[in-house]
Amino acid sequence: MDQHHGSNPTWQETARLAQARRDGSIAAVEPAVPAVPEEPPWNVSALPRALLPAAQVAVTEAAPEELVAGLAAGRLRSVAVTGAFLGRAGVAQRLANCVTELLPAAALARARELDDHLAAHGTPVGPLHGLPVSVKEHIAIAGLGLNAGFVAWWHRRAAADAAIVTLLRRAGAVLYARTTEPQTLMHLETSSNLYGDTVCPFNRRLTAGGSSGGEGALLGLRGSCLGVGADIGGSIRSPAANNGVYGLRPTSGRLPLGGLAATMLGQEQIVPVVGPLSTSLGGIKMFMKALLDQKPWLADPSLVPLPWRDDRDWLAKGGHGHGHGHGARRLKIGVLWDDGVVKPHPPVTRALREVCDQLRGRPGFELVDWLPYRHDHAWDILSALYFPDGGAEETAAIDASGEPWRPLSRFIIKEQPGRKALTVPEVWAWTRKRDDYRVRYLERWNATAAVDGDPDTAVDVILCPAGPGAAPPLNHARYWGYTAQWNLLDYPALVFPVTKVDPDQDGALADYEPMNDQDAWNHRLCGLTPFPNNKKIKI
C-alpha cells in the first residue's frame, strides 16, 4: 500500500503505513530475524552478539576494509555477507528503532550478480565490491520513498538514484538498508512522527544523535559497517560521537548532492554535505577514495576536481630543522578545550585530555591551546542563514499533514531569537558577515605560526569536542555550536571514538557558574542523564 487513493489520510494513518512497510521488509529477511526481549536492558549494545549465530557475528563485526579484501579475493561471498547484515540490521531496528526499511530482495539480487561476475571474470566490479552499505532515507534510491522526515511527503517516490548512490553502485556496493531521520532533518537527534525516536544502543534513554541518527545507531549495533549520512550542522558527527563510530563531514564541493530530499533546495549560504560513517577509520578512507577515484566532478561542475590524497605523509613536511628526523617537522595540533560559549561536560573533557596525553607521549606531535574566535557570533550567522525564509518551507511541510511539531523542530525553527524571513538585501548582508567571519578565523589560524611568520609552522589541525556532552536525554540536544561551527567555516571534520562515560570518574563540575543561558541548560543536563547501572551524575 504505497500509494494512497481517495480522501486524504490522517497523519496517524500514514505513519501506520510507513511502519507496516518497514516491518514487512524485516519480515521478508531469511532466515527470520530473531526476536528481542520484550523489555530489553538500557544498554543493548551486546544483545545482537547473543541473539545471532557466531558466523553471522564474525562477519558483521569485521572491519569494512577486511570484508572488501575477502570479497574481492573470493574468500567471502557477497550473498552471505549481505544476508548477515540484513539479519543484524533487523535486530538493530528492534533494539534502537533505526531503520525505515530493509531491501532484502534487491540487495540479495545485486549480491548474486556481483558474486557471479567475480566467478566469471576473476575481478571485482569496483573497490567496494560486494560490500553492504546503508543509506540515510532522504538520499534517493530509484522507486523508493523520499520524505525528509515529513508525514506529508511519505507517498513521494524517487524517480532516479541520487548521484552518491550512483557512485556507490559503480564502486560495487550493495544497498540493503535505509535509515531513520528526523522531522525537518534539522535536529541533532532523530525523531519523527513517521517512526518515533531513534535511541542510543548504549543507553536507550538517550538519543542516537541526528540527523543521521539511524545510521549512527545501526553502525553502533554493527547492523552496518559503512553508511551514508548528510550534514549541515553536525548531522554526521553527532550520531558518530553518540554511538562510538567514525564519521566524516567533508568540505562542500567534494561529493555530489544531487537527489537528496529537503526543503530550501538551492540555498547556498550554509550548504549540506554527504559523507560516510563507519565502524573503522579504514572504512572512511575507503569510501572517500572509491567515490573520488570516479572523478565525480566530470558529471557535476559544482565539485572540486581534487582526488583523495591518502598517500601523502603529512608529518614529512616542512624541513625547518625544528622537528624530528630527516628535517620533517612535528604535526602541530591546536586543542580547543571549550568554545567560550558552552563548557563541555566532564566526560568530554576527560576524553580530550586522554587523547592529548597519548599524543604528548609520541614523537612527531606538538600541542598548543586553540583560542576560539567569537563562536557565539558564528551561531548568530548560522541561525539567520539556516532559515532565510523564516522556516516557511519547513512549516508548510509539517502543517500539510496536520502532524504535530516535534520538540526540536519547534526549538530550531520557532524558538530561535530573531527568526524571521529575510529580504534579499538582508540575505546578502548575512552572507557578507559569513565571509568576513571566515576571513577572521583564518587570521586566527595563521597567527599560530612561529614568530618568523612562516605559514608552514601554523597549526595543522584542531582537536576539539564533538559536542557539549555525551549523548543527551531525548529532546535535549539544543546546542549545535561544537559541530555547526565547522559548517559555517566549511572545514572538513572527522569524529573518532575515544572512550565512554564513567559515572565514577565523570562527576559534575563543583560550584560551576554558567557563562550564559545556553551554558546553564547544558550544565543541568549532567544531572538529567541516567546511566545503565542506575547511577546519575549529581549537581
Beta bridge partners of 331: 365
Please list, in sequence order, all residues whose beta carbon lies within 8 angstroms of the beta carbon of residue 175, skipping any fewer than 6 positions away.
Answer: 103, 106, 107, 110, 132, 133, 134, 135, 141, 165, 168, 169
Q: Quick check: helix, strand or coil at residue 276?
A: strand
Is there a catalytic annotation at residue 211? yes
3-state secondary structure of 58: helix
Q: How far is CA 452 from CA 2, 443, 449, 514, in A?
A: 66, 15, 8, 39
Helices 78-96, 11-27: inter-axial angle, 10-degree rounding? 140
Exactly one of 78, 134, 136, 212 is catalytic; which is it? 136
- Residue pair 250/308 in contact by the 8 Å Cβ criterion: no
CA distance 408 to 142: 30
Q: Are 363 and 491 in contact (CB under 8 A)?
A: no
CA separation for the pair 249, 246 (Å, rounded): 10
Reduce the secondary structure of 93-143 to three states and give it as a string.
HHHHCCEEEECHHHHHHHHHHHHHHHHHHCCCCCCCCCCEEEEECCECCCC
278 catalytic per annotation: no
The secondary structure of the chain in percent helix, strand, coil, rounded to multiples of 5, reads 40, 15, 50
Examine the residue annotation and report whether 302 is marked as an active-site residue of this protein.
no
Catalytic residue among 134, 192, 224, 235: 235
Identify the active-site residue in 78, 134, 211, 409. 211
Q: What is the spatial distance between Cα 343 and Cα 518, in angstroms, rounded to a whole number?
A: 10
C-alpha 101/C-alpha 344 separation (Å) is 36
CB 76 within 8 A of CB 130: yes
Cell of 329: 617537522
Cα–Cα nearest to 339, from 209, 480, 450, 446: 480
Rounded distance, CA 146 to CA 126, Å?
27
| Pairing assessment for the beta strands 174-179 and 191-192 based on DSSP bridges | unpaired
Helix (H), strand (E) counts: the chain = 17, 14
Residues with Cβ within 8 Å of 29's Cβ and at least 6 positions away in sequence, in order, are 86, 87, 90, 102, 104
Cα distance between residue 465 and residue 337, in whole Å: 7
> Are the C-beta atoms of residues 97 and 90 closer than 8 Å to each other?
no
Return the number of other C-beta atoms located less than 10 Å from residue 10's C-beta. 13
Give the catalytic positions in this structure: 136, 211, 235
